[in-house]
Amino acid sequence: MKVLLATQKPFSAQAVEGIAKIIREGGHSFEVLEKYASEAELIEAVKDVNALIVRSDLVTEAVIKAAPELKIVVRAGAGFDNIDLQAATSAGVVVMNTPGQNANAVAELAIALMIFMVRNQFTPATGTEIAGKTLGIQGFGNVGCLIAAKAAALGMKVKAYDPVRSAEDLRSYGVEPVESLERLYSECNYVSLNVPLLPSTEGLVGDRLLGLMPKGGVLVNTARKEVVNEQGLKKALAERTDLKYATDVAPDNYAQLREEFGLRIYANSKKMGAQTSEANINAGYAAARQIVDFFATGNTKFQVNR
């Protein structure tokens, strides 16, 4: 089988070497397309591939239709909102992710962004400490769990909201469950967003929830930019001059927001939550192993389009 690793934002060379080794030892051929500039380039590259490994690369209906031999797409990472699942399912293509494999890198970034913001983006103005403060985690999946443990070790109290996990389950991680987003935002000094992008989470956080935060509130978003309603964010930052927002993915109107709100807002220039060599290796190798296993045994354990 022919396996293509297509990454606009490349994995480290070491990770690519390891992925190639796993694929070739599994008896398959391996090709790489990195830093491509257009969908047309991806469309050209997939025309004879049987398996595709991607990161946040857009796997659209056009890409799937251009790959008649495609059997499997593995998103080397957690979120699969970049893949047209309906088109894949209609074409009989299995889609998988590699849950948890890059979670630690994202969790470390969330803690870093929180500290960066309460220290005024490392400018000399007097900041605050995170010890003794309460962190709210919105979405208690692989990343949320790790953030909770790190925050607790740093002396924070941790509360969590997750509509699909029971209170008892959340308590078993040493966090205090809260039954509504309103409570999470009104009871926590800082909130970390860790939900997937779904129709139910798109635009979920805006001025109404942000306005409930205690004085000095900080929202840290290492999920997807679309979960935050940008107009609502703008309104909240304008109405509450104590609120701050840090995000791994810049809002569409970031330049304007930065001009208006200065050091109260921060966005990375490129999404970098999962951009560590460890996460590249963990997610990349997992994707390669899942493909080899799928062709050898039919294993679809991590399939997301059943």
User: Minimum CB separation from ligand 3PG for residue 46, in Å?
Assistant: 18
Instruction: Give the separation between CA 163 and CA 185, rounded to whole angstroms.
Output: 15
Residue 186-205 contact track with ligand 3PG, rule CB under 6 A, x = bound: --------------------
Q: What token pair was written down for 168?
A: 């008892």
Is residue 206 at the binding interface for ligand 3PG, with CB under 6 A as the rule? Answer: no
Sheet with 244-247, side-by-side order of all strands: 176-177, 157-161, 134-138, 190-193, 218-221, 244-247, 265-267
Is residue 26 at the binding interface for ligand 3PG, with CB under 6 A as the rule? Answer: no
Is residue 273 at the binding interface for ligand 3PG, with CB under 6 A as the rule? Answer: yes
Is residue 225 at the binding interface for ligand 3PG, with CB under 6 A as the rule? Answer: no
User: Minimum CB separation from ligand 3PG for residue 282, in Å?
Assistant: 11
Among 136, 271, 281, 302, interactor with ligand 3PG by CB under 6 A: 271
Is residue 102 at the binding interface for ligand 3PG, with CB under 6 A as the rule? Answer: yes
Is residue 136 at the binding interface for ligand 3PG, with CB under 6 A as the rule? Answer: no
* Total chain residues near ligand 3PG (CB under 6 A): 11
Is residue 104 at the binding interface for ligand 3PG, with CB under 6 A as the rule? Answer: no
Characterize the bridge pairing of strands 2-7 and 51-54: parallel
User: Minimum CB separation from ligand 3PG for residue 189, in Å?
Assistant: 25
Nearer to ligand 3PG, 143 or 184 (CB): 143
Q: What token pair was written down for 36?
A: 């491509």
By CB under 6 A, what part of segment 47-86 binds ligand 3PG? 55-56, 77-79
With 0-12 / 13-18 / 19 or more C-beta atoms within 10 angstroms meaning exposed / middle / buried, residue 101 is buried
Is residue 141 at the binding interface for ligand 3PG, with CB under 6 A as the rule? Answer: no
Side-chain half-sphere exposure of 51, counting CA atoms within 13 A: 23
Nearer to ligand 3PG, 275 or 305 (CB): 275
Instruction: Give the separation between CA 128 and CA 14, rounded to whole angstroms.
Output: 39
Part in contact with ligand 3PG (CB under 6 A); list of ranges 22-30, 152-160, 165-173, 269-277? 269-277
Instruction: Give the separation between CA 187 and CA 149, rounded to whole angstroms.
Output: 19
Give the residue from 175, 206, 201, 198 showing the smallest Cα distance to 188: 175
Characterize the bridge pairing of strands 2-7 and 29-34: parallel
- Cα angle 130, 233, 242 (rounded to 5 degrees) comes to 45
What phi, psi does 66 have (nearest 5°)? Answer: -80, -5
Instruction: Give the separation between CA 76 and CA 99, rounded to whole angstroms.
Output: 9
User: Minimum CB separation from ligand 3PG for residue 235, in Å?
Assistant: 27
Part in contact with ligand 3PG (CB under 6 A); list of ranges 20-28, 129-137, 203-211, 272-280? 272-280
Residue nearest to ligand 3PG (CB): 77
User: Minimum CB separation from ligand 3PG for residue 273, in Å?
Assistant: 6
Is residue 250 at the binding interface for ligand 3PG, with CB under 6 A as the rule? Answer: no
Binding site for ligand 3PG (CB under 6 A): 9, 55-56, 77-79, 102, 271, 273-275
